[in-house]
Amino acid sequence: MTPPDRPGQPPGPPSGRRPAPAPGPVAFLDGMLWLLGFWLGGELVVRTTGLPVPGAVVGMLGLFVTLQVRRPRPDAHLLRASDGLLAHLQLLFVPAGVGIVSVLGVLRSDALPLVGGLLVSWVVALVVLGWVVALLLPRDRGGPAVPAGGGDR
């Protein structure tokens, strides 16, 4: 309890001013409610429309649009909650690791097709990426390959 500013006055904020928002757990919970609300909204949109997209992706798209339209302050509760989640991101990989360990027998029995599929998809992605980069980079027709001045500085 803070001492009163003047004798005979009750402690608390000066009249006419609202107290500052509570830091810590309340801010985090408020931000988490916003995140969960967007997730739930995405799930509702997917289930009512039958979209072939995960509800979390639709919710994340809604959150992105909302953050672009209405820029939050740097101390916004939503940003504090997301920073708190990102600080412990490694814990979110534990369920995936447990899932892999639970199907380890399947991975052992089908190792050759899985590795083959991974390698083929990697090569295809690499070729497509090279093709897209070649299309998007500007072409210099007829000019020297090295910039004027030698290029080795």
Provide the CA 13 distance to its chain's centre, in angstroms.
38
Q: Give 48-87 pLDDT, tens digit per residue.
A: 999 899 999 999 999 999 989 988 887 788 888 888 888 8
Q: Is the pTM of this model over 0.85?
A: no
Of 35, 125, 139, 17, nearest to 82 by C-alpha is 35
pLDDT for 150 beyond 70: no
Closest CA to 38 of 8, 10, 60, 53: 60
CA neighbours within 13 Å on the CB side: how many for 146? 6
Query: How would residue 8 be classed by pLDDT, with cut points 50, 70 and 90?
Result: low
Percent residues over pLDDT 70 in the chain: 75
Comparing CA positions, the residue from 128, 34, 126 lying closest to residue 77 is 34
